[in-house]
């Protein structure tokens, strides 16, 4: 099948305004969008810039706005997109070039929630044991690959870039509800601010955007509940 | 590690505002629906006159009902506006200005409504 790609291009060193580049690629319907983008870059226009690394939906590098929704280019098949595909960079972050955005503010917020094991008690002789039920409690939020699809799909984040965003809350949830971790109090304090969980308006865009199928809004709701029960 | 611009200290206000929106929302669902049912469905607007209000306000029940609805509706609505300001107004100066405007509007509405409901004397004009 022939697929027409309409790609939002922008080179800040050369262009004053972003512009649309149109490319026609011959591809199999079972090819992924990433294959089509690679085809453009390798055979038609080598200046096209985008991130991709593992190309198998695990590293989280190639999240982009595809036909108006955030998704991973390496996971979406062309047959599900139709013959005309619009590709834009993720919203809410500075475009470095073409589909490449500056994710540094995204990772700064991720680091802000202390996404690592915090313990005060002495380590046990062997390992920190956990029952399957305790592991299940935060299983959903362990799936995050930090692609940024949820945060850049969030209207609250578009309106207010200071909002810590769904991805950081998901990663805080992963430790807050981990029975081995003792840093929940610290993380809940970080999230209990005007730019924290309370900016979430339960719009559910994050749930639709997540390529890992994480119920992001539920995780944010659980953090809100934890904050509430801590105060009551 | 870059510092985050605009990140603010922990505040209980946002948590209680969030809880208030949920609780007042549930209460208003019933208060407002029953209000609409009585004032606009069961009774036509043409029969709602001074005597109608005087009869209702002869007992404390409907006064309590109305004052509860007034406070919950004004605070719920204005807190919603405050939330929109928190989303879209980023300079702390303008935020303060707009939140002050909201507070002022809220105080005026609550004062006017409360005075009307509390000081209304049904007997005073009833038999003229």
Give me the domains of chain A, ranges plus CATH numbers.
2-101 (3.10.20.30), 104-229 (1.10.1060.10)
Query: Residue A157: closest CA among chain B residues belongs to which residue?
Result: B87
Residue in A closest to B17 by C-alpha: A198
Check B15 against A104: CB less than 8 A apart: no
Partners of residue A104 in chain B, C-beta under 8 Å: 2
Q: Is residue B79 part of a domain?
A: yes
Residue A152 and residue A75 in contact, taking contact as beta carbons nearer than 8 Å: no
Q: Is residue A8 within 8 Å of A26, Cβ to Cβ?
A: no
Q: pLDDT-based confidence at B1, cuts 50/70/90?
A: very low
Sign for the CA dihedral angle at A79, A81, A205, A150 comes to positive
Residue B5 resides in a domain: no
Average pLDDT estimate for B18-34? 97
Please write the tens of the pLDDT for every residue from A56-97: 999 999 999 999 999 999 999 999 999 999 999 999 999 999
Chosen from B2, B6, B7, B8 to mutate, greatest number of chain A CBs within 10 A: B7
Query: Which chain A residues are within 8 Å of B4, Cβ to Cβ?
Result: 105, 108-109, 112, 162, 195
- What does the pLDDT read at residue B3? 44
Round to whole Å and give the CA distance between A27 and A32.
9
How many Cβ atoms from other residues are within 10 Å of residue A203's Cβ? 14
Cross-chain Cβ contact B8/A227 below 8 Å: no
Cβ burial, residue B9 (10 Å; 0-12/13-18/19+): exposed
Q: Which residues of B touch A (CB under 8 A)?
A: 1-2, 4-12, 14-15, 17-19, 83, 86-88, 90
Shortest alpha-carbon distance between residue B25 and chain A (Å): 15
Counts of helices then strands in chain B (DSSP H, E): 5, 0
Residue B1 counted as domain residue: no
C-alpha to C-alpha distance for B108 and B126, rounded to whole angstroms? 28
Reply yes or no on whether the pLDDT at B2 is more than 50: no
The answer to whether residue B27 is domain-embedded is yes
**Interface with B, mutate which of A194, A202, A220, A232 (most B CBs under 10 A):** A194
Residue B24 maps to which CATH number?
Answer: 1.20.1300.10
- pLDDT bracket for residue A231 (50, 70, 90): confident
pLDDT (0 to 100) of residue B127? 53
Answer whether A115 touches B (CB < 8 Å): no
β-bridge pairing A63-66 and A69-72: antiparallel
Q: What is the pLDDT of residue B7?
A: 54
Chain B residues touching A165 at Cβ < 8 A: none
Q: Determine the straight-line distance between the first and last CA of chain A, rounded to whole angstroms.
A: 60
Q: B120 lies in a domain?
A: yes
The three-class DSSP label of residue B47 is: helix
B49-61 burial string, b = 16+ CB within 10 Å, else e?
Answer: eeeeebebbeeee
Q: CA-CA distance, A89 to A92, in Å (whole number)?
A: 9
pLDDT band at B44; cut points 50, 70, 90:
confident
User: What is the average per-residue pLDDT within A177-203?
Assistant: 95
pLDDT greater than 50 at residue B125: yes
Asked if residue A90 lies in contact with residue A63, where contact means CB atoms within 8 angstroms, the answer is: yes
Q: Chain B within 8 Å of A173 (Cβ-Cβ)?
A: no
Tell me the shortest Cα–Cα distance from B21 to chain A, in angstroms: 12
Cβ contact A103:A126 at 8 Å: no
DSSP state letter for A129: -
Residue-level pLDDT at B59: 86
pTM, 2 dp: 0.90
Find, in chain A, the residue whose alpha carbon is nearest to that of B9.
A193
Measured between CB atoms, which of B4, B17, B90 is closest to A108? B4
Are the beta carbons of A106 and A93 closer than 8 angstroms? yes
**Domain region containing B59:** 12-125
d(C-alpha B17, C-alpha B11), whole Å:
11
Q: How far apart are the first and last CA of chain B?
A: 77
Residue-by-residue DSSP string for A33-84: HHHHHHHIIIII-TT-----SSSSSSS---EEEETTEEEETTT-BGGGT-SE
The answer, yes or no, to whether residue A109 has pLDDT greater than 70, is yes
SS3 A124: coil
B11/A162 Cβ within 8 A: no
Phi and psi at residue A95, in whole multiples of 5°?
-80, 125
> CB of B86 within 8 A of CB of B96?
no
ipTM above 0.90, yes or no: no
Q: Where are the alpha helices (DSSP H) in A84-143?
A: 104-112, 132-136
Determine which helix (DSSP H) or strand (DSSP E) holds B101, and give its type and residue range: helix B92-119
The answer to whether the Cβ–Cβ distance between B14 and A192 falls below 8 Å is yes
Beta bridge partners of A66: A69, A87
Cβ of residue A84 closer than 8 Å to a chain B Cβ: no
| Domain total of chain B | 1
């Amino acid at each position: 099948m022939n697929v027409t790609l309409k790609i939002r291009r922008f080179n800040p060193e050369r262009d004053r305004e972003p512009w649309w580049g149109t490319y026609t690629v011959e591809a199999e319907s079972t090819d992924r969008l990433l294959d089509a983008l690679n085809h453009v870059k390798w055979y038609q226009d080598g200046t096209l810039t985008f991130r991709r690394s593992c190309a198998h939906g695990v590293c989280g590098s190639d999240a982009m706005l595809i036909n108006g929704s955030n998704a991973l280019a390496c996971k979406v098949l062309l047959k599900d997109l139709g013959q005309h595909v619009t590709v834009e960079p993720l919203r809410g972050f500075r475009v470095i070039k073409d589909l490449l955005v500056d994710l540094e503010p995204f990772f700064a917020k991720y680091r802000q929630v202390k996404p690592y094991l915090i313990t005060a008690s002495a380590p046990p002789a062997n390992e920190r044991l956990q029952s399957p039920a305790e592991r299940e409690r935060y299983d959903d939020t362990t799936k995050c690959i930090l692609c940024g699809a949820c945060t850049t799909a969030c209207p609250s984040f578009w309106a207010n870039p200071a909002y810590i965003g769904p991805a950081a809350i998901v990663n805080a949830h992963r430790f807050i509800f981990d029975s081995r971790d003792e840093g929940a109090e610290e993380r809940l304090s970080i999230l209990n601010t005007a730019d924290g969980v309370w900016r979430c308006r339960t719009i559910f865009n994050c749930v639709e955007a997540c390529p890992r199928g994480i119920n992001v809004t539920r995780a944010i709701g659980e953090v809100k509940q934890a904050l509430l029960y801590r105060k009551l | 590690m870059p510092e985050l611009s605009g990140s603010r200290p922990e505040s209980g206000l946002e948590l209680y505002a969030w809880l208030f929106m949920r609780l007042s929302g549930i209460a208003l669902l019933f208060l407002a629906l029953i209000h609409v049912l009585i004032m606009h469905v069961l009774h036509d607007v043409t029969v709602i006159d001074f005597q109608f209000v005087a009869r209702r306000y002869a007992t404390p029940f409907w006064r309590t009902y109305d004052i509860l609805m007034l406070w919950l509706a004004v605070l719920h609505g204005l807190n919603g506006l405050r939330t929109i300001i928190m989303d879209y107004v980023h300079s702390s100066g303008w935020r303060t200005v707009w939140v002050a405007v909201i507070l002022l509007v809220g105080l005026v509405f609550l004062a006017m409504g409360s005075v009307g409901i509390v000081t209304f004397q049904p007997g005073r004009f009833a038999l003229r």
